[in-house]
Structure formats: structure tokens, C-alpha cells
Amino acid sequence: MNNPSSTFSRRDWLRTASAGFGYMAFAGLASESAARDSAGPLAIKAPHFPARAKRVIFLCMRGGPPHMETFDPKPALTARHGEQGRNKNCNLLGSRWAFQKHGQSGTEIVELLPETAKLADKLCVLRGMHTENENHPQALEQLHTGSFQFVRPSLGAWAVYGLGTENQDLPGFISINPLTALGGARYYSSAFLPAACSATMLGNASQHPKELKLGDLTNPRVTPASQRAQLDLLQSMNRDLLARTADPRVEGLIESYELAFRMQGEMPRVMDLSAENPQTLEMYGADKPETQTFGKQCLLARRFAEAGVRFIEITHTDWDFHGGLTGGMKRNCHQIDKPIAGLLQDLDQRGLLRETLVLWGGEFGRTPEDPTTDGRGHNNKGFCMWMAGGGVKGGHVFGATDELGYEAVEGKIHVHDLHATMLHLLGLDHERLTYRYGGRDFRLTDVKGNVVREIIA
């Protein structure tokens, strides 16, 4: 057929694929590229090259944890504590907490994270992180989407777009306790990618961090049996229409209702932690009041990972210590330490860690100096994150900030580089994973990004 629009437009793509359902029937009829895409965004797709990681768990520390008080010790800062910093109203503030070397690798970790420290040999600490913006919303947006100026798809959406997902009864991208205030939804959106790539959000960090639920997942009025009866009626109407019209859209709706119904069963099942034994709950700290919120979320992440979800994110707030650093750090570290250690151990024991990339970190770091009496400013020029599992070197420290922790000076990794590396570990070439929108090919890393090969095992 002589199709006058030679470029495969976004709309064509939407019509053949993004709907996610229904175009199977016509796959044989459409062009080859349409046929390739017609399985829909959630269907499993082959990576560009063999993947080191099948999935990602991103532990997002919203607010900007201080690198010099977590994974990037600064003895010079401690030594010069109290001297004037770069800003004339600020004095240098040394870490109140000591660092020890851990594991065979001797990775230095702050004493506030004793449980995580036991797994030092699993961690690949990235001390040379940097990003462009020092405001939370922009930096968080860039961390998630690569851009803070434009609405772009989230990292998780790109992963699902590139690889599909392993469990057709669950969404491919789940964000636990997401930030929804102040434009937060953009951090998890599919933007111009097919809508099925966007995150399904559980709970809401802006409202009730403890309550995790998916909107409209259940109908409290009906028993599953009577809802099934209702659905059977609905689907018989839909099938009649399909028979009359042979409309793939109708077929898509039929499949979508079935998936929704399956999700009603599968989501609560995966989210039901009561099946876990007490030892597991203990391992995650899910049995203690201070650690149970994050602990349960980490456990949930493992369950989603096990169930085949491609990208899982958990948000922990709030690390924005302009004041109250001493108390806040103790509290936050305690809240995350045991759960994270539990997650890594549990993944490892189940053989999942080697194929699951775990990423920890916030949108930026903090300044070595103190504009208040017990706090630190924002620092986008140097901070740290760590990865574990999924094909990265364990017990490895890469990059460095200067001796006081102001700026990354060695092994610098921009957020674009981080994204390129994560996609690489998932078997995706960040320069080839593109999506045509508004007349141009977009990618997660825009025109930037280098794979940090030094950290790959």
C-alpha cells in the first residue's frame, strides 16, 4: 500500500500499539514495524543486548541526604570543623558521626547505618554524582526524567517501554509512596510514551505515607462473584459489539477489563504481606514501629520484583535538613537501615539480587557548611548514590568529591550518565531507545549521557 506519510507517526504508533490491547488481530495485516510493536507496551520485548539486570528497585531519598554523613567520609571537613566555609556566613560542619571500614572491600559507611554496612561488599558507591539544579522539584524531576525544563517520560516508563513487563496481571512500573504534590506526578509519568508505561501509584507521600492503596482497585459493594457476574454481562455486550464491528478497539477494551479484573485479584495478593513469615518481617524491620513503614514498603518492592514488575520505586521523605540535622539523620537512618539491609539480603537469598538493580539516593547532596546551627544547604555539584546487584561491581567505590565535599572531582557521574548506565544494565542502549514525538526522536538522556563502564562487574 502506498502510504503517503512515510514516517511512522506517533499517532500511527498509538493506534497500533500504545493502546496496549486489541491490535493483535490485525498484526498480520499492518506493516512490519507496526506488527512488531503491536504486542503492546507491556508485552516482553527483547533488549538491545544481553541484560545484566531484569528490573530496578529505586529507593528514592527525597530531600537530598548529606553525602558526608552517609557514604562519603570527609576527615578534612571534620578537621576543619568551625572554620569559615565558602560562604562567609557559613562555617564548615564536620560529620557528627564516625565512619568505619566494612567488609572485605573496606567500604566506609557511617555508623548510623550499621545494618546496611554489613552488606558493604554488595554496594557500589558512586561518590562523584552531580546534577544541574539545586532546587528540589527540578532536581527530582531531572533525576526521574532527565529534564527539569520539559515534561518527559520517567526512567521507569522508559524501562517499561523498552522491555515490557514480565507479569501481564500487574503494571510494569509501580511507585510506592510517590510524591504527588507540587508537580510530583510528572516524576512518574509516561509523558508522550504509551500511557501503559506510566507508574501505577500506591499511596501518597503528600498525604498518608502509611496507607498504600491503588485507586478504584476494589468495589466494596460487591463480592467478587457478583462482580464477575456483572463483568460477564458487560463482556457479553462487548463481545456482541466486537462480532458486529470487528473493531480492534473493542477487543482492546475487552482485554483491558479482563486485566483490570485480574489486577483486582493479583494486586491485593502481591500486596498482602501476611503470607510472609515472622523471620522475614523481622529481617525488614517490618515488625518494629520505627522501621515498619519503610520496611513493609521494601518488602512490598521485593514481592513486586518477584512477581515480575519491571520498575519499582519507593520514596522516603524527608532528607531536607536545613535544620534539625542531628535528630533527623538519626531518625531517618534508623528508619531505612534495617529495611534496606533486609531487602538486599532477601533479594540475595532468593537469587534475585544478581538480576535486580537496586539504586539508592536522593536528588542531590548537601553542603559541607552550615548556614544554620544544625543543618546543611543543597548541593547539586557533588553527592553520592549507590547501586547494588544487577551487574554492578560489589564492594566498589567510584568517584570522589573534593576533600571537603563541595564538588565532585573524580569519576564524575551526571544524572544523564546514571540513566545511560542504568539502561545499559537493563540491556538497552540509551542512544537507541528513542521515541518519535512532535517530529523528533526523544530519548531519556537527550543528547547526553555516557555509560559508566568502570562500575559494571
* 2 counts as binding other proteins under rule CB under 8 A: yes
The SS3 call for residue 118 is coil
DSSP string, 336-403: HHHHHHHHHHHHHHTT-GGGEEEEEE-S-EE-SEESSSS---EESSSEEEEEESTTBPSSEEE-EE-T
Rounded distance, CA 390 to CA 392, Å? Answer: 6
Q: Phi/psi of residue 344, each to 5°?
A: -65, -45
Residue 388 bridge partners (DSSP):
123, 358
Which position among 164, 172, 194, 390 is part of the footprint of other proteins (CB under 8 A)?
194
Residue range at the interface with other proteins (CB under 8 A); choices 113-121, 240-248, 279-287, 358-366: 240-248
Please give the residues from 274 up to 303 whose contact with other proteins meets the rule CB under 8 A: none
Rounded distance, CA 454 to CA 50, Å? Answer: 18
Residue range at the interface with other proteins (CB under 8 A); choices 47-55, 65-73, 223-231, 303-311: 223-231
* 88 counts as binding other proteins under rule CB under 8 A: no
Which position among 36, 234, 272, 290 is part of the footprint of other proteins (CB under 8 A)?
234
Which position among 226, 265, 330, 457 is part of the footprint of other proteins (CB under 8 A)?
226
Minimum CB distance to other proteins, residue 18 (Å):
6
How far, in whole angstroms, is CA 338 from its chain's centroid? 20
Q: One symbol per residue from 296 to 335: x for binding other proteins (CB under 8 A), - otherwise; what is it? A: ----------------------------------------
Residue range at the interface with other proteins (CB under 8 A); choices 208-216, 288-296, 298-306, 351-359: 208-216
Please give the residues from 37 up to 66 whose contact with other proteins meets the rule CB under 8 A: none
Is residue 194 within 8 A of residue 16, CB to CB? The reply is no
Is residue 194 within 8 A of residue 18, CB to CB? The reply is yes
* 404 counts as binding other proteins under rule CB under 8 A: yes
* 127 counts as binding other proteins under rule CB under 8 A: no
Does 318 sit behind a cis peptide bond, omega within 30 degrees of 0 on the bond before it?
A: yes
Is residue 60 within 8 A of residue 297, CB to CB? The reply is no
* 217 counts as binding other proteins under rule CB under 8 A: yes
Is residue 436 within 8 A of residue 446, CB to CB? The reply is no
Please give the residues from 129 up to 158 whose contact with other proteins meets the rule CB under 8 A: 132, 135, 137-138, 151
Toward other proteins, which CB reaches closer, 196 or 344?
196
* 256 counts as binding other proteins under rule CB under 8 A: yes
* 233 counts as binding other proteins under rule CB under 8 A: yes
Which position among 32, 277, 278, 440 is part of the footprint of other proteins (CB under 8 A)?
440
Rounded distance, CA 160 to CA 41, Å? Answer: 7
Minimum CB distance to other proteins, residue 315 (Å):
14
Closest CA to 174 of 315, 384, 41: 315
Toward other proteins, which CB reaches closer, 334 or 396?
396
* 417 counts as binding other proteins under rule CB under 8 A: yes
Is residue 165 within 8 A of residue 310, CB to CB? The reply is yes
Residue 61 bridge partners (DSSP):
316
Which position among 88, 223, 277, 278 is part of the footprint of other proteins (CB under 8 A)?
223
Which position among 254, 273, 307, 456 is part of the footprint of other proteins (CB under 8 A)?
254
Please give the residues from 341 up to 370 whose contact with other proteins meets the rule CB under 8 A: none
Residue range at the interface with other proteins (CB under 8 A); choices 153-161, 257-265, 288-296, 306-314: 257-265
Strands 378-379 and 365-366: antiparallel
Residue range at the interface with other proteins (CB under 8 A); choices 5-13, 52-60, 113-121, 292-300: 5-13
Is residue 59 within 8 A of residue 385, CB to CB? The reply is no
Toward other proteins, which CB reaches closer, 187 or 284?
187
Please report, for residues 111, 186, 377, 386, the alpha-carbon distance to residue 395 in angstroms, rounded to integers and kept in the order given. Answer: 17, 34, 29, 11
Rounded distance, CA 252 to CA 241, Å? Answer: 12
Minimum CB distance to other proteins, residue 417 (Å):
7
Toward other proteins, which CB reaches closer, 46 or 181?
181
- Give the CA-trace dihedral at 302, 303, 304, 308, to 10 degrees: 100
Toward other proteins, which CB reaches closer, 79 or 182?
182
Toward other proteins, which CB reaches closer, 200 or 315?
200
Size, binding site for other proteins by CB under 8 A: 102
Please give the residues from 171 up to 190 whose contact with other proteins meets the rule CB under 8 A: 171, 180-186
How far, in whole angstroms, is CA 70 from its chain's centroid? 20
Is residue 368 within 8 A of residue 69, CB to CB? The reply is no
Which position among 22, 66, 94, 362 is part of the footprint of other proteins (CB under 8 A)?
22
